[in-house]
Amino acid sequence: MQKPKIAVGFIGMLRGDWENNLANLIKDISSQYNADYFIASWNSISHFPGMNTGVANWTHKLLSLEFNKKFPAPKEVADKVLFYKYFPKVYKELSYAYEELGIDKQKLCKKMFSISSKIKNISLESQAYLSLHLVAGEYSYYLSNKVFRLIENYETMVKIRYDYIFLIRIDSQINDMGLKKFI
């Protein structure tokens, strides 16, 4: 039986230690599956996304699980309403996202391609223009469309057809998710 052809599209903002995270994602997936990888992201890096995470306990979203277990935040810090009440100046500073904008696309692509030879194509966009036209959730749809176009173009170029295409946020961690049942 022929092994299925798998494409994995990574989408989203490059955050924190994105290089190691991407390398680990590719290593974890490649240890079980023979996949080709495609990336659609922005030419910026988010060093700190700000506290506007959409969850009441912002520390769970922005700090690692290990850190939260070892040093649980007091409710006056963890709860955004209380944090604002008791520490308004700190809250204001932490509310802003800290991003490195306008990174040279060629240099960033070179870094990404150096992570794995299985990365077939990359699209990096400037978010500045799109910010005028898109709202939060639409960025994911935009990048999903971009990565699907990369995959389709690659399929046409090398005359193959992928059996499975997966989309994964570039800043996520994965487990097996029971894929062996399907693949």
pTM: 0.78
Residues 154 and 75 in one domain: no
Residues 91 and 103 in one domain: no
Residues 167 and 82 in one domain: no
In a domain, 53, yes or no: no
Residues 64 and 142 in one domain: no
Q: Which tens digit of pLDDT belongs to each residue from 9-46?
A: 999 999 878 899 999 999 989 988 899 999 999 998 88
Distance CA 165, CA 177 (A): 15
Q: Which tens digit of pLDDT belongs to each residue from 155-169?
A: 999 999 999 999 999
What does the pLDDT read at residue 62?
73
Q: Structural domain tally of the chain?
A: 2
DSSP notation for 107-164: HHHHHHHHH-TTEEEEEEE-HHHHTTT--TTHHHHHHHHHHHHHHHHHHHHHT---SE
What does the pLDDT read at residue 68?
82
Residue 148 pLDDT > 90, yes or no? yes
What does the pLDDT read at residue 99?
78
Domain hosting residue 74, numbered range: 58-95
In a domain, 23, yes or no: yes
